A and B are shown apart, each in its own frame.
Chain A
Amino acid sequence: MPLLDVDHLTIDIPTEGGLLHAVNDVSFTLERGETLAIVGESGSGKSLTSLALMDLLPSKAIRRARSLRFDGIDLQAASERDKENLRGDRMAMIFQEPMTSLNPAYTIGDQLAEALRRHRKVDRKTARDRAVHLLERVGITAAASRLGQYPHQLSGGLRQRVMIAMGLMCEPDLIIADEPTTALDVTIQAQILKLLRDLQQEFGMALILVTHDLGVVARVATKVAVMYAGRLVETGPVEAVFGAPSHPYTRGLLRAIPVPGRTRPGEPLGTIPGQVPSLVGPLSGCSFRNRCDHAQDACASEIPDRTVTPGHRMACILDPVQTWAEAPALALDDRRPQ
């Protein structure tokens, strides 16, 4: 039994113009020790998908799923109390902007201890010791003296480390990190990502990383799920997806980013013409077809979920073999940065 089983997750949001189909039939599973990267552009539904797992969706959003199970617990049937007990204890979330997710009125120490004391019956001393231990573990020096500080007294990188430490207080089974390093500098980003990956391996947790950065995905994740316009268009082990990107959208994304050593300086980057379609009102067929080079009449009808190689699936009518041949030489060959 997988730790997390998401089967046909759908999120609709009522808007003035009609029903917005923000997430459509997204399915994936996650085991302990795995890192799943959900990658996509704004409007792809990647953040909503992660919020749906934590039951943190905006109140007017409508969540449906054939199955939504965390360690065997049916999240759809669970009571509010059960979900509160899961959140922060067995599932933790790390947000993009640590300044707004830390309470400015309380010290770091209070907030860290609160995370533990809400779920476990431990005394202050134990909570404090664990807070110090974890702050040290996330690479914060003079951890004991930081406990009395307020969030605004810390730099962005330190705040994000505190957020990670807070997420780890109860030794969760699953951590969901939504763009955890987007607001940070590149050197800090590298440190934080490495830290997340090390901790994940050490504690045997499952990690969901929501990001738009393909570089981060490739370096940190074991599995990747590419989302476009609310749908999962391609998913699989990270080597398989980056080695043989099969969906035209995945390929478009990979062609669009400059990569030192692979793209030639000054040459035009690949682009994806057009824009994301409106997700309001009834949808049918492949949502990428209005921007796709390979679009055919058949793309307007239901798109089958196809297996490229075991574990590597995509939602496209094109033959995986055919798309393999067309995939540009990516990453696994030629000039690799030293």
Chain B
Amino acid sequence: MTIPVLELKDVTKTYAIRQGIFRPPATLTAVGGVSLTVARGEVHALVGESGSGKSTLARMLLGLIAPTSGEIRIDGVPIAMTNRREVARRIQPVFQDPYSSLNPRKTVADLIALPLVAHRIGSAKDRQKRVAAMLDAVGLPRRMIDAYPGQMSGGQRQRVAIARALVMQPDVLICDEPTSALDVSVQAQILNLLMDLKREFGLTYFFISHNLAVVEHLADRVAVMYLGRIVEERSREALFERASHPYSKALLDCVLTPDPTLGMPDAAITGAFPNPIAPPPGCTFHPRCPRATDHCRVAAPPPVPLADGFATCHLAT
């Protein structure tokens, strides 16, 4: 069996939240016991609502914060045993908002070359060549090399961010909602570009999104996150055709395809996200679950293995 490029074992991140001077601090479990494997060359999507812990997980993968417990391995080597610069060579981020992810004071050339500068790679001339090659790869005209982000459109900025992520030739890109700040037609261009680059450079994507239509379009595997835990992890086909977890099903129901004959879906789940400091007992989804039983209210479900993945639900089959 080949070693997965990215492997998460029981990764947990908790924060102590102060609730006043006299009360003891509460524990907020942002990410709780996440185990995932990402095979080389696949697009692994992570979906979930805001507050589900997606971004915390992404920040741990990028080495920006350390897990409270558990282990993240890159090519079988634990991140904790690798220094941050080495992690940075292998895993690079593409952020959601290209307006805030690019330093407004730098030119395109300086932005894309920053990883090379940080890692002291190549001479000034080599760097310039690689920057030019990257501009070609992401489809930006070379005359933009001296432009500032303020002179570019959102789509162009996101291309610069992608070029910056790729200039070190990493194995994995962590894409955190890379198109949700962009216009529809620009989103399509960036998604197409990401697919092309994946083929060209043999990349692996860890793709965080709340847009299931986009996920369906480019993911190979999908993990659904709720309140810091993976509630279902399946191949794309399995999830979109026969999702097991009620939460995954609800998310799928909420995908609004542009079909005027369908009308609004019936919201299968009601209520709002629970307070993550005091999560419900048992299955954390039970207060919103249309199928919850008494058992769900007291016992936390274990992951149930399914063909093509698992679902963390007592009712999964």
| A and B, direct touch (CB closer than 8 Å) | yes
Q: Are A219 and B262 in contact (CB under 8 A)?
A: yes
Give the segment of B57-65, B143-151, B163-171, B213-221 that binds chain A: B213-221
Shortest CB-to-CB span from A107 to chain B, Å, is 20
**How far does the alpha carbon of A256 sit from the alpha carbon of B263 in the complex, in Å?**
21
The residue of chain B having its C-beta at the shortest distance from the C-beta of A238 within the complex is: B260
**A212 neighbours in B (Cβ, 8 Å):** 183-184
Q: Tell me which of A190, A258, A262, A270 contacts B253 (CB under 8 A).
A: A190
Given A155-B272, A186-B254: A214 and B263 interface contact (C-beta under 8 Å): no
Q: Does A252 have its Cβ within 8 Å of any Cβ on chain B?
A: yes
Q: Are A186 and B261 in contact (CB under 8 A)?
A: no
Q: Are B260 and A271 in contact (CB under 8 A)?
A: no
Q: Does B133 have its Cβ within 8 Å of any Cβ on chain A?
A: no
Shortest CB-to-CB span from B199 to chain A, Å, is 10
The residue of chain B having its C-beta at the shortest distance from the C-beta of A264 within the complex is: B217
Shortest CB-to-CB span from B57 to chain A, Å, is 17
Given A157-B272, A266-B195, A268-B195: A218 and B256 interface contact (C-beta under 8 Å): yes
Q: Are B257 and A216 in contact (CB under 8 A)?
A: no
**B97 neighbours in A (Cβ, 8 Å):** none
Q: Does B197 have its Cβ within 8 Å of any Cβ on chain A?
A: no
Q: Are A272 and B256 in contact (CB under 8 A)?
A: no
Q: Does A20 have its Cβ within 8 Å of any Cβ on chain B?
A: no
Given A185-B50, A190-B264, A265-B216: A271 and B188 interface contact (C-beta under 8 Å): yes
**How far does the alpha carbon of A242 sit from the alpha carbon of B187 in the complex, in Å?**
20
**How far does the alpha carbon of A158 sit from the alpha carbon of B240 in the complex, in Å?**
29
Q: Are A42 and B253 in contact (CB under 8 A)?
A: no
Given A187-B267, A269-B191: A214 and B255 interface contact (C-beta under 8 Å): no
Q: Are A252 and B185 in contact (CB under 8 A)?
A: yes
Q: Are B267 and A41 in contact (CB under 8 A)?
A: no
**How far does the alpha carbon of A259 sit from the alpha carbon of B266 in the complex, in Å?**
19
Give the segment of A10-18, A75-83, A329-337 that binds chain B: A329-337
The residue of chain B having its C-beta at the shortest distance from the C-beta of A42 within the complex is: B183
Given A42-B183, A219-B264, A269-B192: A186 and B257 interface contact (C-beta under 8 Å): no
Report, as a range, how many residues of chain B touch the other chain. Answer: 35 or more
**How far does the alpha carbon of A158 sit from the alpha carbon of B272 in the complex, in Å?**
9
Give the segment of A191-199, A295-303, A320-328 that binds chain B: A191-199
**How far does the alpha carbon of A263 sit from the alpha carbon of B269 in the complex, in Å?**
27
The residue of chain A having its C-beta at the shortest distance from the C-beta of B155 within the complex is: A275
**How far does the alpha carbon of A197 sit from the alpha carbon of B266 in the complex, in Å?**
12
Q: Does A57 have its Cβ within 8 Å of any Cβ on chain B?
A: no
Q: Does B49 have its Cβ within 8 Å of any Cβ on chain A?
A: yes
**How far does the alpha carbon of A41 sit from the alpha carbon of B49 in the complex, in Å?**
24
**How far does the alpha carbon of A158 sit from the alpha carbon of B273 in the complex, in Å?**
11
Q: Are A187 and B269 in contact (CB under 8 A)?
A: yes
Q: Does B123 have its Cβ within 8 Å of any Cβ on chain A?
A: no
Q: Are B191 and A213 in contact (CB under 8 A)?
A: no
**A193 neighbours in B (Cβ, 8 Å):** 264
Given A252-B185, A258-B217, A266-B218: A191 and B257 interface contact (C-beta under 8 Å): no
Q: Tell me which of B49, B216, B272 contacts A260 (CB under 8 A).
A: B216
**A332 neighbours in B (Cβ, 8 Å):** 259, 261
User: B interface vs A, CB < 8 Å?
Assistant: 49-50, 153, 183-189, 191-192, 195, 210-214, 216-219, 236, 240, 250-251, 253-267, 269-270, 272-273
User: A interface vs B, CB < 8 Å?
Assistant: 41-42, 155, 157-158, 185-191, 193-194, 197, 212-221, 238-239, 242-243, 252-263, 265-266, 268-272, 275, 330-332, 336-337
